[in-house]
Structure 1
Amino acid sequence: MSPKNPYITGNPVGDTHAFVGRADIVREVLSVLKHNENNAIVLFGQRRIGKTSVLHELETKLPKEGPYYPIFFDLLDKSNWPLERLLQDLAKKISDVLQQEQPNLGADPKTTFREVWLPELLKGLPSEKILVLLLDEFDVLDDLDNEGKQPASAVFFPYIRDLLNTDHQHLNLVFVIGRKIDDMTKIAKSLFKTAPHKRVSLLAYEDSIELIRLSETNKTLKWTKEAIEKIWELTHGHPYLTQHFCSRVWENLYNKNPNELPTATLKEVETVEKTDILEASRNALEWLWDGLPPAERVVASILAGAGAKTISEKQLEQLLQDNGVRMMLEELQQAPRILQEWDLIEEAEGQYRFRVELLRRWIAESKPIKKVQQELDRVEPVADALYHAGNELYKNGRLKDALEPLRKAISLNPHHVGANVLLANILLALKKANDALEILEKLKTYNPNAARTGLIKTFLTLAHSSKNEDEQLKYYKRVLELDTGHPEAKTKVQKIWGRRGDKAYKKGQLNEALKIYQAANLNEKAKKVQQELNRSAQELKQAKRFERRQRITVIRDMIRTHWKSTLETVGVIALFVGTYFFFESFT
């Protein structure tokens, strides 16, 4: 008999050997079921955390724990169904599990299900029996569809609320949702406001170790302590990633056709870590990622890109700013707290870090901040809908009509990048460059990258419309601050400074001309002026040398003339003195 891989990936593990832990959740559900004052409980948690597995485990376990008829009903693919079809399908599922004849809800399924069929079914149950509806992915009914129509929850949730009051003694509901109750619509919150709720979180360390050692239980693979600790370090109790990682290690070892019971060592774990685990988990991780709100995606991307180290709130804010995102939106400011509540990150001594290292690596690799920044536009759904309305008008050439919805979008979400960029472009087309500039300057304060192209176009437009060279230079310099190699701006700046240099040159102000040419990178003209200045300097030097020689000649001639005169005078004096002393000798 061939060895069997004990790890289950991609499917719920409830009611299988691979289901471990979750005893606290089962206890909480049983506690609610045993008390009539609450006949509903909400289980919530991030995607791929094991919520559906918990429901399947309850489906098997509840009949063993008490007088329960659990009915598992998945709503994932039913968000666009009309209520009548939804109730017909639910009634059929209940009838199948209870082995009753197929239901006939007639022409008015809504009324028949609530007022006739379900009450009669509950009345027909043994007095001590309780029907427990396990409603999976219940929150998908609370989403707006692509056309912005009323969500299914607007009809179904009030209906469910009425059902909860049908028969407290014989009807209980367990709701599973993939987000927090606070993130749902008001009508959904009203349904859950009195119901207790329980988070489905990461597995505890002991449960994770039990999960890793499943292959030891079925005697197909042993694990070294180092290998187990490495998997815990990478998955940190995430049930899907733990199962998937262990399964890859198991498959790799059995692909070698071992002759004896293999042992997974640190080397085998590191091989999976460094090869294909992230790519192999991509679909599941994309599904998890899609469940995050836009602001949380932005912050998660920034934190993941910073590495495995811890990040303070101040450092996080700086990283956001460095990437062109400013912590202005309330959603962005609340994102770290929400990511903690979803078990994606944890706080340690005032610092944030990812709880699951594999997830961090995947986000850093697949969801860098440049790809994620556009998510901010969907933070406020109404604003985003207005933006798309304005965009359609713009595409149809109705530029002026597009202004109002775009301005309303920005009033609801001042940081909606798409609306700001489009509004600025329309204003430019309508020859309102200064208005466009005002919008883009604000955009630049929190998303410089998004504002860059529009600012360049606006500054060029303002430069073209100005007849003042100083103003033109100012706008072209602003363009070059944004793009140092912009060809038109470089050419225009050179021409303006070239004209100013030529003017100084004609006036004979060679030093001023040289300074201007050099600043404008007009190298040929600067070289020509430099040569002229060099020649002038050489000529001046030669003139000074000639003048100095002339002065030396004049001084020398003067000295010679003066010396000759002096010698002649000294001779005469000497003659008189000699004559005097000659006659004195005879007296």
Structure 2
Amino acid sequence: KTQPHTLILYGQRRMGKTSTLYQLVGGKRGQTIREYPGHPIFPVYIDLQRLAGCDMPEFFARLSQDIVRNLHKRNIRVVPRETWSSNGTLFSEFDAFLDQIEELLPENGLLVLIIDELEQLQESVERGRLSADIFPYLRSLMQHRTRITFILAGTNQLVEDYWSIIFHVGISREIDSLSREETETLIREPVAPMIQYDDLAVDRIWLTTRGHPYFSQLICHRLVSATNLEGRRSKLITIEDVRETINLVIEEDDSHLQHLWNESTAVEQFVMASLAGTHDIGEASVSRAEISARLRETAYGEDAINIGLRQLEVRRLLIRTPVERQIQRRLAQPNGWHPTLISKDYTYAISFDLLRTLCFDLGMDFESLPGQSKPAKAREMVNYWRNRRDVAKLTEAIRVERGNII
């Protein structure tokens, strides 16, 4: 038989990986896959955080118990081992346990071991609780078992070299943010037609979350709950409602945001502060040289800053954009200039431009405004609304966004 492929799912936390796995194991949406005619699968969900602190015998004992319990629900009776050795026969004992399961599976049946929070293995090995031999052993199972396959899930750390021994034997898929269209579907469809969103409200949610499933759902949940609890006559959610909810989320529901900050290293925190904590906040991007200039007074050199930038990019907390720069050098002949393309540089960003936000709020196309700099864009925006004899609309939008200015 052909060895089934291992699937590796990775991405930021709160992107929906675990929810997807739950559906496969026991949810309604995964039922068709579990009970596919002629080729049933038997998924077993394993949360490695629950096994944190286990030594090798306890790890395999509890792992086998999870498998036995889940298969029992599907009427497959597996005899569990009473004890697990602490010597070199442990892997062979688990092999014998898997042999028993393969014999009991129905024809063309497949056991799927779904291992979540995979980084916990690395932490347990580094703390000395598990042997590093567990990695090549798992790789061997993935390569040679024909009736057992794996779905591995974790954060973006799985793309690091440490995990190459496992990462390169499977098919990897990143669980990323939703597209603009997918985000609008998530916002509108669950509550339509009873509750409606105006277009500017949807745009505002998109600008705030950029399709992050958790934050999109969190904002929508609070909006819908407020609409229902307040017994509004109008069931239309406006951009003003969205702004108020975003402020409440930041004040009251920022635990995940705080977690993202707390799990960052000191240099990563300095890098993020250099991008978001200056008077230039909201600019589209910041050059690498400017980041160095802003961090000149810190204790971190270029190598440390580069590591911080890379880790933030891996965690998808930072956007890196390549830019090409040209210089001109004079040729030997009179009046001769020759454009020379120098190596690529990069700009970095973690925030959104206030002017761009205002343009969405006012239903304008930011890119259509003349001018390259932010002051030029601002002048053109004022002229646009002055010509339409409706400067009051611009003033109100600025007042809502930055009440301390007006």
What TM-score does the superposition give when structure 1 sets the normalisation length?
A: 0.49
Q: Give the alignment of 1:261-276 within 5 angstroms.
A: 262-274=235-247, 276=248
Letter in 2 for 1:213: R
SS in 2 for 1:201: coil
Letter in 2 for 1:177: G
Q: Is the 8 A contact 1:106 1:112 kept in 2?
A: no
- Please tell me whether residue 63 in structure 1 is matched to residue 34 in structure 2: yes
Distance 2:319 2:131 in 1: 33
Distance 1:270 1:296 in 2: 29
* Aligned equivalent of 2:213: 239
Distance 1:227 1:153 in 2: 52
* Aligned equivalent of 1:194: 169
* Aligned equivalent of 1:315: 290
Q: Is the 8 A contact 1:236 1:356 kept in 2?
A: no
* Aligned equivalent of 2:147: 170
- Please tell me whether residue 203 in structure 1 is matched to residue 178 in structure 2: yes
Q: Is the 8 A contact 1:299 1:335 kept in 2?
A: yes
Q: Give the alignment of 1:135-150 within 5 angstroms.
A: 135-143=115-123, 149-150=127-128
- Please tell me whether residue 73 in structure 1 is matched to residue 46 in structure 2: yes
Q: Whose relative contact order is higher, 1 or 2, with alpha carbons under 8 Å and at least 6 apart?
A: 2
Q: How much has 1:144 moved relative to structure 2?
A: 6.0
Distance 2:184 2:262 in 1: 29
Letter in 2 for 1:158: P
Q: Give the alignment of 1:5-404 within 5 angstroms.
A: 36-37=2-3, 39-59=5-25, 60=27, 61=30, 62-63=33-34, 67-99=40-72, 100-101=76-77, 103-108=79-84, 110-111=90-91, 113-143=93-123, 149-150=127-128, 152=130, 154-167=132-145, 169-183=146-160, 185=162, 188-217=163-192, 219-258=193-232, 260=233, 262-274=235-247, 276-306=248-278, 307-309=281-283, 310-322=285-297, 324-329=298-303, 331-348=304-321, 349=323, 350-354=346-350
SS in 1 for 2:12: coil
Q: How much has 1:208 moved relative to structure 2?
A: 0.8
Distance 2:100 2:4 in 1: 22
Q: Which structure has the larger Rg over C-alpha atoms?
A: 1
Q: Give the alignment of 1:488-527 within 5 angstroms.
A: none
Q: Is the 8 A contact 1:134 1:175 kept in 2?
A: yes
Q: How much has 1:108 moved relative to structure 2?
A: 2.3
Q: Is the 8 A contact 2:61 2:84 kept in 1?
A: no
Taking structure 1 as reference, are residues 257 and 182 closer, same or farther at Cα in structure 2, changes over 3 Å only? closer
Distance 1:54 1:138 in 2: 16
Q: Is the 8 A contact 1:224 1:264 kept in 2?
A: yes
Give the root-mean-square deviation of aligned CA atoms.
2.8
SS in 2 for 1:73: strand
SS in 1 for 2:24: helix
Q: Is the 8 A contact 1:92 1:102 kept in 2?
A: no
Gaps of 5+ in 2: 324-345, 354-406
Q: How much has 1:87 moved relative to structure 2?
A: 2.1
Q: Is the 8 A contact 2:56 2:131 kept in 1?
A: no
The superposition leaves residues 388-446 of structure 1 with CA deviations (integer Å, 9 ceiling, x where unpaired) of xxxxxxxxxxxxxxxxxxxxxxxxxxxxxxxxxxxxxxxxxxxxxxxxxxxxxxxxxxx
- Between 1:135-144 and 1:77-86, the stretch displaced more is 77-86
Q: Is the 8 A contact 1:48 1:288 kept in 2?
A: no
SS in 2 for 1:343: coil
Q: How much has 1:166 moved relative to structure 2?
A: 4.7
Q: How much has 1:132 moved relative to structure 2?
A: 1.0
SS in 1 for 2:13: coil
* Aligned equivalent of 1:497: none
SS in 2 for 1:231: helix
* Aligned equivalent of 1:553: none
Q: Is the 8 A contact 1:45 1:199 kept in 2?
A: yes
Letter in 2 for 1:334: I
SS in 2 for 1:77: helix
Q: Is the 8 A contact 2:11 2:155 kept in 1?
A: yes
Distance 2:257 2:10 in 1: 18
* Aligned equivalent of 1:568: none
Distance 2:262 2:274 in 1: 17
SS in 2 for 1:277: helix
The superposition leaves residues 214-271 of structure 1 with CA deviations (integer Å, 9 ceiling, x where unpaired) of 4424x4421111101100010000111111111121222223123x461111111111
SS in 2 for 1:174: strand
Q: Give the alignment of 1:395-434 within 5 angstroms.
A: none
SS in 2 for 1:108: coil
SS in 2 for 1:180: helix
Q: Is the 8 A contact 2:267 2:300 kept in 1?
A: no
* Aligned equivalent of 1:399: none
SS in 2 for 1:105: coil
Letter in 2 for 1:106: E
Taking structure 1 as reference, are residues 197 and 164 closer, same or farther at Cα in structure 2, changes over 3 Å only? same
Q: Is the 8 A contact 2:52 2:124 kept in 1?
A: no
Distance 1:80 1:184 in 2: 24
Q: Is the 8 A contact 1:79 1:140 kept in 2?
A: yes
Distance 2:79 2:273 in 1: 50
- Between 1:208-217 and 1:95-104, the stretch displaced more is 95-104
SS in 1 for 2:302: coil
SS in 2 for 1:150: coil
Taking structure 1 as reference, are residues 289 and 64 closer, same or farther at Cα in structure 2, changes over 3 Å only? farther
What TM-score does the superposition give when structure 2 sets the normalisation length?
A: 0.69
Taking structure 1 as reference, are residues 210 and 264 closer, same or farther at Cα in structure 2, changes over 3 Å only? same
Q: How much has 1:90 moved relative to structure 2?
A: 2.3
Q: State the percentage of identical aligned residues.
A: 22
Q: Which has the higher helix share?
A: 1
